[in-house]
Chain A
Amino acid sequence: MTGQAAFGGQPREKGIMLKFYRNAAALSATVIAALMVVAPATAKNDAAIQALYGKAKAEGEVIVWGPTTAELEWIGPALAKRYPGINVKINADVRSAPKIIAEARAGKTSLDVFVFSMGGMLAIQRRGLLGTTDWQAFGVPKDQVYFGGQAGATHNIVYSAMYNTKLVKPGDLPKKWEDFADPKWSGKLVASPFLLPRLSGFLAMEWGEEKTANWLRTLINDRNLMVTRAPRQGILASGERPVSITDFSSVAQRLARGGASVGWAWFDIIPAVQFVAAPLKGAPHPNAAKFVAAWLAGAEARAAREAHNFGASVRAGSNTMRAKEVAKATGKVIIEDPKNMKVRAGLYKKLSPIVTGRKK
């Protein structure tokens, strides 16, 4: 499945707040729609939510950490619209885990809610640093609550290829991941050294380790795959390489909305990383932590997130645009969950040295 830059002709993105207000109408409509869908659950749990909101509001503040600003910056404005009175402070760092562990060890936990990929959350969860909250009050399905009630599913980011729409037509793209090994893609592909092993881990769950390793070797050694930490969108825009094979459809859509000439494509395997939110044990604002973590996994926040950065849950039963696209796609969807997480981690550990040059 491919996605063209529907916003290609629009001016480039405004600031965070400007961006938010510009999308306010769309956001409001989405939130209202979401509210209507979850109305029975909301009514049922309204008392519990209002009680928790009251306590959270009394604390006045919530501190949310996550991997990138894009994952967090929408939370403050969206929460204020629905539940005013709670000031949201955010901190983006992909290497937060050691800091969280060190702070907890010193008894100085400084965050309330942690939003991260399920795999990234594991280091914190294993050490017993997560608290619990009432996920059901916010309508979070039971099968989307993990680690014995400590984390709730928020959204997925879906691996896709991202391409320069001026240089590549959607029809030219392959239908399968393995087709990138075709000589016609020689010198045309770029990948991130951080994401390529992770994508390979997903693919290896379907293909097996050996086939995936051979695929990687072919791309790197024979197809001159450019593996670099430089921003892929710049490499695509300049035409140095027209296709990035390690990107996310949400990122491509965000860039396209900003005016970039990029499209995205899914193939025969659609890997989706699972993001979760969790309240911290010993959080400085314990009620706000419980309230905001659960809210982040609920339908309202899911809709707001999707409107802001296209990050959306693709799990069955989700009412997001992305879930509908995934449902229509022909590829096999593999969503990260506690069952397959360990297998995938084991596979990408083995495949990573090929990407990083430590193994031929």
Chain B
Amino acid sequence: MAATAQAVRVHRTGDIGISGVLVLGAAVAAAVYFISAPLAMLLFSAFRGPEDLLPFETGAAWTLDNFAQVYGDTVLYSEIIPNTLVFVAGSVLVAFVIAFTLAWLIERTDLPGRNVFFTLIIFPIIVPTVILAIAWMFMFTPNSGWVNLAIRAAFGLERTAGPLNILSMPGLILAQGASLVPFMFLLLTAALKTMNPAFEEASATSGASPLTTFFKVTLPVLRPGILAPVILAALIALESFELPLIIGLPARINVFAIQIFFELNPDTDLPVYGRAAAVALPFLAAALGLLFLYNHLIRRAESYVTVTGKGYRPARYPLGRWKWPAIIFASTYIGLAAVIPAAVLVWVSLFGFNPPTVGSLGKVSFDAYSELLSDFRFYRAVGNTFLVAGLSAFIVTLVGALVSWVVVRSNMPGRKVLDFISFLSIGIPSVIAGLAMLLLYITLPIGVFGTVWVLVLAYCYRLAVTTRISRAGLMQLHQELEEASRVAGGQWLTTIRRVVLPLMAPSLVASFVLLFIIGFREFTLALILLSEENMVLSVILFRFFENTEMDKAAAVATLIVVFVVPVIFAARRFALPQEREG
């Protein structure tokens, strides 16, 4: 393994020139800067008490009380941890099966209308999870869910509840799984897009059946590109508390992440950051464990090189008689996870909580939209949101790609530590990251506190996603491509700019789109760092939600979708090499 790694990592300081050293040094410094404050705050808070003092206040002291209180609770072991394992494993499995099938259909087959399908599949990740959960509850609650009412009416069932019940473990798993699909789908399409089909063609030529080729060639070659989204999805499911709070809690399903919510919304006056951090630390441990596993499973780096200098052409399987089943599969997912929630969203924005009946049509009201559109603060929030989400996504994607290059290609001392640190951001609850940013930027005399720039800097701590995507993408590129550029006289920076980054475009676009959407939805950091000048759309949505003005919250969510969808469409349309559909 060491020999292989050494063979791949040929770059030394002399090879990359002073400009390369400067660029990589800046990227590494930025990555460390973005992540260190939230990480330090998490570790610091976990060992500070008592609970009625904030971790940084005079009087707070080092203590293990937070751990004693969190881990001394027997319910944790009898109920919460088993529930969590079932919930995470189930939702990741559901998400993977759906996402991989969809990604394969979109990237490797001649499925018609792929660009439209692509955008619709991503839809659930655009809508804030709280809104999505509410839409699903409208559809699948046992007594009055619209789908249940329709089924009971269609089949003349006399029961007053069911037959479907989202307020259950299967319901929670399906909901969380469906909400993870776009995330996994984006990452898997990036991996599939850069996979050279020559391997599969060789397998088929050798007489292997499509199934054998899939299991013996496709999956193994894609291992980094598959493991990264699976691991990330597992960690996201582990720390996600919106769906468990809305769908799980009514079914008395208590999972780990709910504990963080209750610690941050406690019965005392202040959020108990110490206990929340103590609950969150296992996320970091899980993240580290999964990253070790990931590194172990992909240790033979050369096995995953699929893009070489020997020619690479994307090829698509003709679906033939499977075309319609494929369309039905994709449409069913899109219908349940995108179209119906979108319809609920638009309905609530226009009709409030009136039932979807003909009688309600007369109650249509555009007040929610007209109020929003007549307020200048809304337009400022739109501008701020595009700026913050776009710029932070661009910075993090670029920094993540360069950090990945350092980890995969260079001999820089401490690169493995850098890899781990960049990954740890996924285990830090955003409330704790927000507190760290607040303390950092309120103290630093750089004049960004209260401006839109503080949000750009704060949002940049989410490096985990992009470093995983970039690393998987980079591992698919053969070193010879960079060597060829160098032999032809290309400086390191030129090679990166004109060879590596363009070939990594699918990964980089996936990363940008994902981070852009996350940036559009993020409200915790935005709320903590809020000022009159840096208001963003997600904060407006959250305030309407807290203010029980759901029609207005739905209107904002609808407009967020309207704003984000063209960006996704454009990113796929213009930032990636195009091919003709059909």
Quick check: B374 and A15 within 8 Å, CB to CB?
A: yes
Tell me the smallest distance from the CB of B370 to a CB of chain A, in Å: 7
Q: Which residues of chain A are within 8 angstroms of B56 by Cβ–Cβ distance?
A: 102, 105
Quick check: B57 and A105 within 8 Å, CB to CB?
A: yes
Quick check: A11 and B365 within 8 Å, CB to CB?
A: yes
A142-150, A237-245, A298-306 - interface stretch: A237-245
A92-100, A133-141, A153-161 - interface stretch: A92-100
Q: Which residues of chain B are within 8 angstroms of A235 by Cβ–Cβ distance?
A: 137, 141
Tell me the smallest distance from the CB of B182 to a CB of chain A, in Å: 22
Q: Which residues of chain A are within 8 angstroms of B547 by Cβ–Cβ distance?
A: 68-70, 92
Pick the contact of B245: A93, A110, A229, A233 (CB < 8 A).
A229
Quick check: B353 and A226 within 8 Å, CB to CB?
A: no
Is B367 on the interface with A (CB-CB < 8 A)? yes
Tell me the smallest distance from the CB of A102 to a CB of chain B, in Å: 5
Complex Cα distance, B142 from A241, in Å, reads: 10
Pick the contact of A97: B134, B269, B354, B550 (CB < 8 A).
B269
Tell me the smallest distance from the CB of A249 to a CB of chain B, in Å: 13
Known contacts A93-B527, A238-B138, A357-B249; is A102 also within 8 Å of B269 by CB? no
Known contacts A12-B365, A251-B548; is A106 also within 8 Å of B268 by CB? no
Pick the contact of A231: B52, B265, B363, B550 (CB < 8 A).
B550
Q: Which residues of chain B are within 8 angstroms of A21 by Cβ–Cβ distance?
A: none
Question: A175-202 vs B: 1/0 string, CB under 8 Å?
Answer: 0000000000001000001100110000
Chain B residue at smallest Cβ distance from A228? B250
Quick check: A229 and B246 within 8 Å, CB to CB?
A: yes
Known contacts A16-B371, A101-B57, A227-B250; is A106 also within 8 Å of B550 by CB? no
Known contacts A92-B546, A102-B442; is A230 also within 8 Å of B365 by CB? no
Is A255 on the interface with B (CB-CB < 8 A)? yes
Pick the contact of A345: B130, B267, B273, B363 (CB < 8 A).
B267
Is B449 on the interface with A (CB-CB < 8 A)? yes
Tell me the smallest distance from the CB of B250 to a CB of chain A, in Å: 4
Is B252 on the interface with A (CB-CB < 8 A)? yes
Complex Cα distance, B299 from A177, in Å, reads: 63
Pick the contact of A238: B249, B267, B355, B370 (CB < 8 A).
B355
Known contacts A93-B530, A227-B250, A237-B353; is A197 also within 8 Å of B449 by CB? no
Is B20 on the interface with A (CB-CB < 8 A)? no
Quick check: A230 and B439 within 8 Å, CB to CB?
A: no
Is A358 on the interface with B (CB-CB < 8 A)? yes
Interface residues on B, range: 35 or more
Question: A198-240 vs B: 1/0 string, CB under 8 Å?
Answer: 1000000000000000000000100000111111011101111
Quick check: A357 and B269 within 8 Å, CB to CB?
A: no
Q: Which residues of chain A are within 8 angstroms of B435 by Cβ–Cβ distance?
A: 98, 102
Tell me the smallest distance from the CB of A110 to a CB of chain B, in Å: 7
Quick check: B543 and A187 within 8 Å, CB to CB?
A: no
Q: Which residues of chain A are within 8 angstroms of B54 by Cβ–Cβ distance?
A: 98, 101-102
Chain B residue at smallest Cβ distance from A187? B143
Q: Which residues of chain B are within 8 angstroms of A240 by Cβ–Cβ distance?
A: 137, 141-145
Within 8 A of B (CB), among A63-114: 63, 68-70, 89, 91-95, 97-99, 101-103, 105-106, 108, 110
Question: B7-43 vs A: 1/0 string, CB under 8 Å?
Answer: 0000000000000000000000000000000000000
Is A334 on the interface with B (CB-CB < 8 A)? no
Complex Cα distance, B73 from A359, in Å, reads: 9
Tell me the smallest distance from the CB of A12 to a CB of chain B, in Å: 5
Tell me the smallest distance from the CB of B74 to a CB of chain A, in Å: 10
Complex Cα distance, B56 from A105, in Å, reads: 10
Quick check: B353 and A228 within 8 Å, CB to CB?
A: no
Is A260 on the interface with B (CB-CB < 8 A)? yes
Chain B residue at smallest Cβ distance from A262? B353
Question: B155-196 vs A: 1/0 string, CB under 8 Å?
Answer: 000000100000100000000000000000000000000000
Within 8 A of B (CB), among A109-123: 110, 119-120, 122-123
Pick the contact of A12: B130, B352, B449 (CB < 8 A).
B352
Is B117 on the interface with A (CB-CB < 8 A)? no
Within 8 A of A (CB), among B117-150: 130, 133-134, 137-138, 141-145
Chain A residue at smallest Cβ distance from B372? A15
Quick check: A259 and B352 within 8 Å, CB to CB?
A: yes
Complex Cα distance, B138 from A237, in Å, reads: 10
Complex Cα distance, B530 from A243, in Å, reads: 36
Complex Cα distance, B134 from A15, in Å, reads: 24
Q: Which residues of chain A are within 8 angstroms of B335 by Cβ–Cβ distance?
A: none
Is A246 on the interface with B (CB-CB < 8 A)? no
Q: Which residues of chain B are within 8 angstroms of A16 by Cβ–Cβ distance?
A: 371
Complex Cα distance, B363 from A101, in Å, reads: 46
Known contacts A356-B258, A357-B254; is A231 also within 8 Å of B167 by CB? no
Known contacts A15-B367, A92-B543, A98-B435; is A237 also within 8 Å of B246 by CB? no
Q: Which residues of chain B are within 8 angstroms of A349 by Cβ–Cβ distance?
A: 267-268
Is A316 on the interface with B (CB-CB < 8 A)? no
Known contacts A14-B367, A102-B54, A103-B442; is A348 also within 8 Å of B267 by CB? yes
Q: Which residues of chain A are within 8 angstroms of B549 by Cβ–Cβ distance?
A: 13
Q: Which of B246, B262, B354, B450 has the most CB of A within 10 A?
A: B262
Known contacts A231-B545, A237-B353; is A18 also within 8 Å of B371 by CB? yes
Q: Which residues of chain B are within 8 angstroms of A108 by Cβ–Cβ distance?
A: 442, 449
Tell me the smallest distance from the CB of B274 to a CB of chain A, in Å: 12
Complex Cα distance, B435 from A352, in Å, reads: 25
Chain B residue at smallest Cβ distance from A359? B75
Within 8 A of B (CB), among A253-270: 254-255, 258-260
Quick check: B262 and A356 within 8 Å, CB to CB?
A: yes
Tell me the smallest distance from the CB of B496 to a CB of chain A, in Å: 40
Complex Cα distance, B530 from A13, in Å, reads: 27
Is B481 on the interface with A (CB-CB < 8 A)? no
Tell me the smallest distance from the CB of A86 to a CB of chain B, in Å: 15
Is B209 on the interface with A (CB-CB < 8 A)? no
Quick check: A239 and B352 within 8 Å, CB to CB?
A: no
Quick check: A14 and B530 within 8 Å, CB to CB?
A: no
Complex Cα distance, B134 from A194, in Å, reads: 18
Q: Which residues of chain A are within 8 angstroms of B365 by Cβ–Cβ distance?
A: 11-12
Query: What would 15 A/B residue contacts be, using CB atoms closer than 8 Å?
Result: A11-B365, A15-B370, A15-B374, A18-B371, A98-B271, A122-B269, A193-B245, A193-B262, A194-B265, A220-B252, A228-B249, A229-B130, A258-B352, A356-B254, A359-B75
Given contact pairs A12-B363, A97-B269, A227-B249, a sample of 20 additional A-B residue pairs in the complex whose CB atoms are under 8 Å apart: A13-B549, A15-B371, A68-B546, A69-B544, A69-B546, A95-B528, A103-B442, A220-B252, A229-B246, A231-B550, A233-B550, A234-B137, A234-B550, A235-B141, A238-B353, A345-B267, A356-B254, A356-B262, A358-B259, A358-B262
State the B residues within 8 Å of A (CB): 52, 54, 56-57, 73, 75, 79, 130, 133-134, 137-138, 141-145, 161, 167, 245-247, 249-250, 252, 254, 258-259, 262, 264-265, 267-271, 273, 348, 352-355, 363, 365, 367, 370-371, 374-375, 435, 438-439, 442-443, 449-450, 527-528, 530-532, 543-551
State the A residues within 8 Å of B (CB): 11-16, 18, 63, 68-70, 89, 91-95, 97-99, 101-103, 105-106, 108, 110, 119-120, 122-123, 187, 193-194, 197-198, 220, 226-231, 233-235, 237-241, 251, 254-255, 258-260, 345, 348-349, 352, 356-360
User: Which 10 pairs between the two chains have the least Cβ-Cβ distance?
Assistant: A15-B371, A237-B353, A123-B269, A357-B254, A239-B144, A226-B250, A229-B245, A106-B442, A349-B267, A240-B141
